[in-house]
Amino acid sequence: MQQGIFITGSDTDVGKTFVGVCIAKQLSQKNINVIPRKPVESGCIRQNNELIPPDANALRTAANYPGPLSDVCPYRFEPAISPSRAAQLANTRLTTAQLVTICQQGSDKSFLLVEGAGGFYSPLTENGLNADLAAALKLPVLLVVEDKLGALSQALLHVEAIARRGLPVAGVVLNALSNDQNQQMDNVADLRKYLDCPVFSIPYQPEIDFELPDELITSLITAACTKTSSVSVIG
């Protein structure tokens, strides 16, 4: 079976790409060949009559991927809306099966790192959600959630949704997007009471050379190789 992970979020703009870039860099430093894929991206930037997908481009650079950007992200749309809606407006047929083929091409004996678009249940193609792509790829899922009040509910709801698709949960990353959090709040500690998968956090405005804990990277490699899920919601 394919080794790798699928990165999803509890919402859009929660830091999936930042987490993916960190993972790609750190795996590459361990001499692991990373195949980055963000097969469809909306909100692309138009430059010289070409649409540039910033997220896919960041993943490609972080992974030191030698192939063209079109391998990483062949479907690009300018409107910052759901890919399924953007494809419809562009009169482009976009199916889950097409994205599965793109993700799997050339990924044998490599670590496949796939980033979805938007949240786990966000519409992705004309016939599927991000959840459907993850299920079709049969990859362990890493969930990124904004670290804020309400994160516990968001994380637990998404973990349950991922489990319902029969997918392993590789871990949960809580990403702080602001510095106005209640200092009495500790979502990591509280979430660990309910989940038995790895739970980690990213501080607000991390350093440029920020690295995810090696424990998380190791757990991702293990999850990718075993395809087993130790996650359960306690309660």
Whole-angstrom distance, CA of residue 196 vs CA of residue 158: 14
User: Burial, 110: exposed, middle or buried (Cβ in 10 Å; 0-12, 13-18, 19+)?
Assistant: middle
pTM of the predicted structure, to 2 decimals: 0.93
Whole-angstrom distance, CA of residue 216 vs CA of residue 40: 26
94-126 pLDDT, tens digit each: 999 999 999 998 877 789 999 999 999 999 999
Q: Which range (7-21, 43-57, 118-132, 195-209) has the least confidence?
A: 195-209
Clarify whether 38 is annotated catalytic.
yes
pLDDT of residue 227: 59
Per-residue confidence band for 182, with pLDDT thresholds at 50, 70 and 90:
confident
pLDDT of residue 180: 82
Average pLDDT over residues 154-167: 97
Average pLDDT, the chain: 92
pLDDT of residue 226: 73
Candidates 38, 148, 193, 227; catalytic one:
38
Whole-angstrom distance, CA of residue 156 vs CA of residue 152: 6
The domains found in the chain, sorted by start residue, are: 4-226 (3.40.50.300)
